[in-house]
């Protein structure tokens, strides 16, 4: 039987960003340097395949520092941690390595700088997300007010409406965030914004590629984890940009083939914490079922690289 024809559009950039790449490398280098087990507070990045692979090599994933023995190294995840966490680790004389993405650390520094200048912070982010928890935890309770939507802005009760600054989670929808920022500026004209926007280059680039791809395809698959903020945003961006069917899949086994019946083109992208091997697995699943023509949608080139902490680069 001949296979039905299908055009497969691959978004570029897609998959791993520099912050995720660095965080995974930190765990791998820590295992090489100190041996197993190495403890990791929270998932190092939001991807089950990556976490399971590191667990197989001797990484132990825990929720809190209390779950770590004092004589083994502990690594903080790429999403960042509240200030109290490294302070507690230092008080317990623990060996710890911070794998917080440098672009998240930039937001932490920004929040501290505004706070020192006497401004109360408004954070645009998702309640309960590790990055939001970590960023809000850089300042004392009450110093950071959280908004998720433009509607939330109406209920904000700041100390002084003329002494505010805003920051954002790095993995938000660019368009949704612009709406919230517009609402903040309309209600609080004196509010101070970041020098350079907080949504990271990788999130922005992946969303732009999806916007370019969405009108060309009948369906779109986003390879990523259900707890990955930037992956879920790609599904939303694809739908909003005109793609009739967008689905988040962790593995090729999650693809709903019945939903794709009769289509002529599919777009594939991946969240910033999804490894290329999972993207290749999805492509292979299509090659087995269809007579595939491959095409690329390239909207940006990425060559960002972040150094790992000095403690891991030192010998011994």
Kind plus residue range of the DSSP H or E element containing 268: strand 265-270
Asked whether the beta carbons of 312 and 26 are under 8 A apart, the reply is yes
**Residues paired with residue 10 on neighbouring β-strands, in sequence order:** 268, 296
Spatial neighbors of 153 by CB under 8 A, at least 6 apart, are 147, 180, 183, 184, 187
Kindly state the DSSP code that residue 151 receives in the 8-state scheme: G
**Residues paired with residue 294 on neighbouring β-strands, in sequence order:** 8
Kind plus residue range of the DSSP H or E element containing 105: helix 102-116
Is 43 tagged catalytic?
no
Phi, psi of 16 (to 5 degrees): -45, 135
Phi, psi of 238 (to 5 degrees): -60, -45
Please give the span between the terminal C-alpha atoms of the chain, in angstroms, as a whole number.
60
Kindly state the DSSP code that residue 222 receives in the 8-state scheme: E
Catalytic residue among 43, 110, 131, 305: 131
- How far apart CA 247 and CA 256 sit, in angstroms, is 9
Catalytic residues: 131
């Amino acid at each position: 039987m001949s296979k039905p024809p299908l055009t497969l559009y691959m978004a570029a950039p897609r998959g791993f960003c520099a912050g995720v790449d660095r965080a995974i490398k930190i765990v791998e280098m820590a295992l090489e340097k100190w041996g197993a087990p190495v403890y990791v507070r929270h998932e190092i990045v939001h991807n089950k395949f990556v976490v399971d692979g590191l667990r197989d090599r001797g990484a132990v994933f825990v929720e809190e520092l209390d779950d770590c023995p004092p004589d083994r190294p502990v690594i903080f995840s790429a999403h960042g941690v509240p200030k109290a966490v490294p302070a507690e680790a230092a008080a317990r004389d623990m060996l710890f390595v911070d794998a917080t993405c440098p672009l998240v650390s930039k937001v932490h520094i920004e929040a501290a700088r505004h706070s020192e200048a006497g401004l109360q912070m408004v954070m645009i982010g998702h309640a309960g997300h590790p990055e939001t928890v970590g960023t809000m935890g850089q300042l004392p309770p009450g110093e950071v007010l959280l908004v998720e939507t433009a509607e939330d802005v109406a209920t904000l009760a700041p100390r002084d409406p003329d002494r505010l600054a805003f920051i954002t989670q790095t993995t938000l929808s660019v368009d949704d965030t612009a709406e919230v920022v517009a609402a903040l500026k309309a209600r609080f004209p004196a509010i101070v914004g970041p020098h350079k926007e907080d949504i990271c280059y990788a999130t922005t680039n992946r969303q732009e590629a999806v916007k370019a791809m969405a009108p060309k395809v009948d369906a779109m698959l986003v390879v990523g984890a259900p707890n990955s903020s930037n992956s879920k945003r790609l599904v939303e961006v694809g739908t909003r940009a005109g793609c009739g069917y967008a689905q988040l899949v962790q593995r090729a086994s999650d693809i709903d083939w019945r939903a794709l019946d009769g289509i002529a083109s599919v777009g594939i992208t991946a969240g910033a914490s999804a490894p290329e091997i999972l993207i290749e697995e999805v492509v292979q699943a299509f090659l087995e079922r269809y007579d595939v023509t491959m095409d690329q949608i390239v909207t940006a080139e990425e060559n960002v690289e972040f150094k790992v902490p000095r403690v891991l680069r030192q010998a011994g």
